[in-house]
Structure 1
Amino acid sequence: MRKATAAIAAVLVVFAVMIVTKLGGAGGPETKPTPAFPTGEAAAAIVAQLTSVPPAVLDQVGVGSAEILPKAVTGQPVLTEGGKPLVLYVGAEYCPFCAAQRWPVVVALSRFGTFSGLTITASASDDVYPDTPTVSFHGSTYTSDVLTFQGVETSGRTRKGGSYTPLDQLTPQQAQLVQKFNAPPYVDAKSAGSIPFVDYANQAITSGATFSPELLAGMTAEQVTKALSDPGSEIAKAVNGNANAITAVLCKVTGGKPANVCTSQAVTAFQGKV
């Protein structure tokens, strides 16, 4: 019994180290000071444009270039908070794949509610796809009549003492959801524990980005948001297309509310696909 207990303890320690490594990005030298990002009125203008992509543009984009769609979860009750379906996002500011995925997540959720406190930032300068422009959920809030949202950014974008600076800590419930659904059989073993991880009320999940951060290389957040209003741009096809897929999933968990969103061409384009 003592040997068995010791073996189990060893496995748990290894698993904990894996989680910390995946979410914390430990190792490597300290990075340069954080560059200046838009703040104040300039940041507010970018966020306003991001959170109000015209419905006509979303309808025109339809499926766009979305190929990696949220994966359905079966046999699970709808995850709720305060009586409303809960969407959980777990990522980190240094992560370029998280930086890319926040764009469609924000566009989609903005059709169901309102964000406040989003900040303009970019992924780490010393990672792959350096300085991918994005927003951060750290310190933000979300209000909606039909959904709840928890955005967790576990680490910042700069290193200090060999590790990325810690930000938000997972609650016990959030850690349990990550441990259960960001692992086989819900995701491939090779991508288990990857970020960004998004849990759509335990009815669908995504692990990793649904399009490449390379698409946003060399751009500013202002340039990205401007491109979202051009349905012919590759960025609009990727971001808005994936946002439409997320919207279709959210319409399923909200029971088709709000009706004007859930009956739109942007959503019906994914009928039978999600």
Structure 2
Amino acid sequence: MSKREEQKSQAREKAAALAATQARAERRRRLILAIGAVVVVVVVIGGLVAVRLAGGGKKDEAAKPSGTADTNLISTIAGIPAETFAAVGSDGVQAAPAAITAPALTAGGKPKVLYIGAEFCPYCAAERWPVTVALSRFGTFSNLGTTHSAAADVFPNTATLSFHGASYTSQYLSFTGVETTTNEEVNGRYAPLDTPTAEDQKTFDTYNKPPYVQSGGSIPFVDLGNKFVSSGATYTPEVLAGKTQAEIANALKDANSPIAKAIDGSANVYTAALCNLTNNQPAAVCSTDVVKAAAGKLGKS
């Protein structure tokens, strides 16, 4: 082999070696990129799973059946100062129970207040607050529950109370609270909870429709001794968005809070209706100027 041919052969060997080196480098680069991509995918999937689990935890928390309200929550609801009710008034209340003419609704010799709703329902979630606040001025709740409206409905996870399993003691009134379903879906429907008695179902069917209420068959439905009825919420659940039960209860003491204006204002109107049932007893509640003024808000059917 001539010297020139030998040089060409060496050049070809070097080129082949360089090409092989570059090929190995390229394979290594691609492998690193592939591994990196896998890592990124794993991290992203892990993050999504974590978010899903975190979100699912919140949803599950909201979907749990009612628990028992703690004593601090009940005390806060029952302990709203009279001056707060007076400062809130009822001027801002846009909807109120309507007066009806019907045979008296009683239980145990006392005027009966009937509430029918469901735990999934955001409007029920909103209305339980003023109903509870108003009734707490006439008596005492035991085993009052806490729950949230359904996560999949409008105004999702609205923090609220529950009347499921609760009892009420008052020398002036009797109360029945019916929560027909939970906020948990089973086979595409909310799981059943409380069943109204035949008498309570008849009251619901009879008075939860025109001309007694504007819209028929909606919940929440509240019958106050068959003298006043209310169907639907008296304020928008949006006011309660993002708040816990404790935060809502604490806001009820602040007359400048939108929550107090909505709930305490509605409670003043409910109180006026209840005073009508009890012949204005107790006087410490029913004789106040704010309750007398709220009576003017009670609608006509």
Question: Does TM, scored on the shorter chain, surpass 0.5?
Answer: yes
Correspondent of 2:229 among 185, 205, 212: 205
Distance 1:39 1:195, change over 3 A: closer
TM-score scaled by length of structure 2:
0.76
Deviations 1:144-180 (A, max 9, x none): 0010000000000111121111100010001100110
Call closer, same or farther: CA 1:38–1:93 in 2, change over 3 Å.
Answer: closer
Q: RMSD of aligned C-alpha atoms?
A: 1.8
Deviation digits for residues 42-62 of structure 1, max 9, x if unmatched? 832122211221122112211
For 2:94, the equivalent position in structure 1 comes to 67
Counting only pairs closer than 5 Å after superposition, residues 23-172 of structure 1 correspond to structure 2 as: 32-35=59-62, 43-74=70-101, 76-172=102-198
Amino acid at match of 1:65: G
Moved more, 58-67 or 264-273: 264-273
* TM-score, normalising length: structure 1: 0.83
2:208 is matched by which residue type in structure 1? N
Measure, in 1, the Cα distance between the counterparts of 2:273 and 2:179: 23
CA distance in 2, matches of 1:45, 1:271: 30
How many Å separate the matches in 1 of 2:162 and 2:169? 16
* Partner Cα distance (2:212, 2:66) in 1: 38
Pairwise CA distance, 1:64: 4.8
Q: Retained in 1: the 8 A contact 2:98–2:230? A: yes
- Whether the 8 Å CA contact 1:204–1:249 is kept in 2: the answer is yes
What one-letter code is carried by the residue in structure 2 that aligns with 1:200?
A: L
Q: Give the Å deviation of 1:248.
A: 0.2
Alignment partners' CA distance in 2, 1:152 and 1:259: 29
The answer on whether the counterparts of 1:248 and 1:270 sit within 8 Å (CA) in structure 2 is: yes
Larger radius of gyration: 2
Does structure 2 retain, via aligned residues, the 8 Å contact 1:97–1:209?
yes
| Amino acid paired to 1:121 | T
Equivalent residues in 2 for 1:155-194, closer than 5 Å: 155-188=181-214, 191-194=215-218
Number of the residue aligned with 1:225: 249
* Structure 1 runs not aligned, ≥5 long: 1-30
Higher relative contact order (CA 8 A, sep 6+): 1
In the alignment, is the contact (CA less than 8 A) between 2:273 and 2:295 conserved in 1? no
Kindly tell me: are residues 120 and 250 of structure 1, through their superposed partners in 2, closer, same or farther at Cα, counting changes over 3 Å?
A: same
More helix by share: 2
Tell me what 1:23 maps to.
none
Aligned 8 A contact 1:89 1:198 in 2 = yes
User: Is the Cα contact below 8 Å between 1:199 and 1:205 reproduced in 2?
Assistant: yes
Q: Describe the superposition over 1:65-124 as per-residue Cα deviations: whole angstroms up to 9, x where unpaired.
A: 2110110102x2321111100000000000000000000000000000000101121101
**Any idea what SS the aligned residue of 2:255 has?**
coil
Report the Cα distance in structure 2 between the residues aligned to 1:44 and 1:64, rounded to whole angstroms: 31
